[in-house]
Structure 1
């Protein structure tokens, strides 16, 4: 009768190797994430400790203006008054915002639940302060929406890519400057924004235009017309 209790030494060599490898990979991954969090915190502290009185007010106002994507919606409204391509860019851009906002707020923040930075401990000057959100910190929803809009509009309307990209970058930095996000939150928001723009662009490409729909309808009727004409003969 064998003893059901076994130790690592009693286990087959391949099994012990797999356990050791898994444990080593887990420890390495934990160490890497720990280092990244340390770098993230150091960057946040460096921004907080750098006096920028000229930028403080401007970036505070920019961060406020980006609440609920007000800047992006304003730009979309202006584009909608233009020709066909600007209107398409506005529509795709708004769609990208919707995808980014839902992904950041309904998925990302609920899954990660990272605490907001301690602005007081970092001594972020009051001149930079905006209202500290109550939601989780990761990822930055402001950045995700701004980058999603800029990317989607820039693809449809290339001349707008650079200015909108610069604006989205400024919005992302403003969230760190005002002390409400870590740099890592903003970086993750930017990646999410690009992915959201890609999804919105793919959806727009898969949706046929009114002209295409009319041509498809006419094409479907051609064989029927030919058959009906042959029957009449």
Structure 2
């Protein structure tokens, strides 16, 4: 048996089952690994990335400087808008993947953030953080490495705090990259 992709290609169900098992195994490996030093920092980072507050704060600091930093901030904010809209209004509604199950006897409940009510796939936090980094980088190369490190940390924090599977984060990163590419292409046409 096989499922069909949007282009009509067949995807063996065994492959989908294996990918789901790998996703679950990676999530569980993170949930049972003791990292007391990281727990509170990643919980705070995950919360700071709610509604892209962290990226908007960086954009505000960049926009305070005229020229390239201001243009880069505007492009980054536009990419967040595209990524967030796509993730939340399309991705989560189409896929409707349930959030990870948190066991009552979770070994590290102090690392958890409140479980969102929305679907798990894709990670909107990751999509927005990656979109911002990918859009700002070409316009302001000095910001590339720090913003990508921050985006990766935000993505991992969503797994670490128990609200996303690794596959959700990977999908969010792909979506964020696409959103940034779309915004960059549109701004190049207009500039």
Kept in 2, the 8 Å contact 1:45–1:122? The answer is no
Does structure 1 residue 158 correspond to structure 2 residue 141? yes
Matches within 5 A, 1:16-31: 29-31=12-14
Matches within 5 A, 1:1-233: 29-120=12-103, 123=106, 125-208=108-191
Superposed displacement of residue 124, structure 1 = 5.3
Superposed displacement of residue 28, structure 1 = 5.7
Taking structure 1 as reference, are residues 40 and 195 closer, same or farther at Cα in structure 2, changes over 3 Å only?
same
Q: Which has the higher contact order (CA 8 A, sep 6+)?
A: 2
Greater Rg by CA: 1
Superposed displacement of residue 99, structure 1 = 0.2
Runs of at least 4 residues off by over 4 Å: 23-28
Taking structure 1 as reference, are residues 177 and 160 closer, same or farther at Cα in structure 2, changes over 3 Å only?
same
Q: Deviations over 1:146-177 (max 9, x none)?
A: 00001100110001000000000000000000
RMSD: 1.6
Q: Please, what TM-score do these two structures have when normalized by structure 1?
A: 0.77
Kept in 2, the 8 Å contact 1:124–1:178? The answer is no
Superposed displacement of residue 122, structure 1 = 8.1
Taking structure 1 as reference, are residues 124 and 112 closer, same or farther at Cα in structure 2, changes over 3 Å only?
farther
Q: Larger helix proportion, structure 1 or 2?
A: 1
How far apart are the structure 1 equivalents of 2:76 and 2:97?
Answer: 28
Kept in 2, the 8 Å contact 1:128–1:178? The answer is yes
Taking structure 1 as reference, are residues 25 and 127 closer, same or farther at Cα in structure 2, changes over 3 Å only?
closer
How many residue pairs get aligned? The number is: 186
Taking structure 1 as reference, are residues 160 and 28 closer, same or farther at Cα in structure 2, changes over 3 Å only?
closer
Gaps of 5+ in 1: 1-22, 209-233
Gaps of 5+ in 2: 5-9
Taking structure 1 as reference, are residues 122 and 186 closer, same or farther at Cα in structure 2, changes over 3 Å only?
farther
Q: Deviations over 1:6-41 (max 9, x none)?
A: xxxxxxxxxxxxxxxxx5677862110000000000
Q: Deviations over 1:32-80 (max 9, x none)?
A: 0000000000000000000000000000000000000000000000000
Q: Secondary structure at the match of 1:98?
A: helix
Q: Please, what TM-score do these two structures have when normalized by structure 2?
A: 0.93
Q: Secondary structure at the match of 1:54?
A: helix
